[in-house]
Chains A and B, each alone.
Chain A
Amino acid sequence: MAEASAWLLTLGPQVRAAVGEREMVHLVQLPTVFDIPDAPRYCRQVLLWQEGIVPILDLAAWLSGRYAVLAPALVGIFAYQAADVIAYGALPLTGVPTRRRVNDEQACALPEQPPGWACIAFSCFKDGDSEVPILDLRRLFSGTLHDIDPLAEIS
């Protein structure tokens, strides 16, 4: 039975997701953020990290069609493979991530609501009574969310 480590992320009230153990690289408390005019409502700020620019994408806001929180108290910085480079993106968190060991027996279907989960998650596992989608970070930060209504049913 395959088993792997994951970070369990709390992205908002009732919004939890997971990433692979090696995908989360930093936590930043009270980050200095910079507003970007004319940006998508769920992704309106960046932060400076290791002399580069990292976009902050509020996944809970995207899933619910709301505007991003503008002064996140805590963000996680995540690494993912984009083309032939390692790229970085940040997600606001409402709590400190916790580590989990996950095995095949925990696999389950993605939550049906909101339907947007199906566009941004590889798969899902059961953690206690709740379902935890595993995020596809490359897709999340690729810009494809502009064209997806997270509240619309996926055909």
Chain B
Amino acid sequence: MIMDIPLSGTEAVAGVLETAPVEVPLLVAIYLDGRRLLLPQREVFSLESVLDVRRGGVQPPAAGVIELVEEEWPVYCLSGETLTPALDFPSPRRICLLLSDGYYRLAIICDQVETLAYSPRAAYPLPPCLAKPGALIERLVVHGETVGCMTTTARLAAYCQRDMDWNSRNG
């Protein structure tokens, strides 16, 4: 419920102008332990089965490797509310989403992947007070009455490789 407060001098309130909306690409939604992240469709390379992931002989925080078109893709499993890189795959996760932006490539184990059939209304840069250096989220996407969190392959790659202790030091 929103209550208007009878304040004088708030004529400047004509809309939220903190950050200008930017163009929104077509998106896919991925689900990770109840969290939902949005990614540009153009960065989706392929969908594979987790059964094709090789688990041994990999360098953590990667949880495995998958081979496709004669190349190896590091596989990451982001787990829990904080999306911490994990070495074990939770049983509901059956989809291995391969992502590439032409520079970075990696694979994410997902509970579910969904192609969004709609165009979100607007996307906004992360507000400065939310934007830690190298933050996982690049933009916030407004659709209807909800806000979605959009990331990219590059941000996921940096996030997955981030020092595992970073979160505990910096929150």
**Which applies to chain B's interface (DSSP): helix, strand, loop or mixed?**
loop
Name the residue on A nearest B126 (C-beta).
Answer: A36
Verify B128–A53 contact, CB threshold 8 A.
Answer: no
User: A32 in the interface, Cβ–Cβ < 8 Å?
Assistant: yes
What residues on B are CB-neighbors of A119 within 8 Å? none
31-88 of chain A: CB within 8 A of chain B: 32, 34-44, 46, 48-55, 57, 67, 79, 82, 85-88
Task: Mark B1-42 against chain A: 1 for CB-CB distance below 8 A, else 0.
Answer: 111110111101101111100000000000000010100000
A111-155 contacts to B, CB under 8 A, are 140-143, 145-146
Report the minimum CB–CB distance from B136 to chain A (whole Å).
4
Contact of B129 among A24, A26, A41, A145 (CB under 8 A): A145
**B132 within 8 Å of A (CB atoms):** yes
Stretch at the interface among B43-51, B55-63, B90-98, B139-147: B139-147
Taken together as a complex, chains A and B put the C-alpha atoms of A40 and B149 apart, in Å, by 15
A38/B135 contact (C-beta < 8 A), A21-B7, A25-B7, A46-B130 known: yes
User: B164 → chain A, closest Cβ, in Å?
Assistant: 14
Binding site for A on B (CB under 8 A): 1-5, 7-10, 12-13, 15-19, 35, 37, 82-83, 124, 126-133, 135-137, 140, 142, 145-147, 149, 159, 170-171
Give me the interface of A with B, judged by CB distance under 8 Å.
21-22, 24-30, 32, 34-44, 46, 48-55, 57, 67, 79, 82, 85-89, 140-143, 145-146
- For the complex with contacts A53-B127, A53-B142, 5 further pairs of A-B residues with Cβ separation under 8 Å are A22-B10, A36-B130, A40-B130, A48-B142, A142-B128
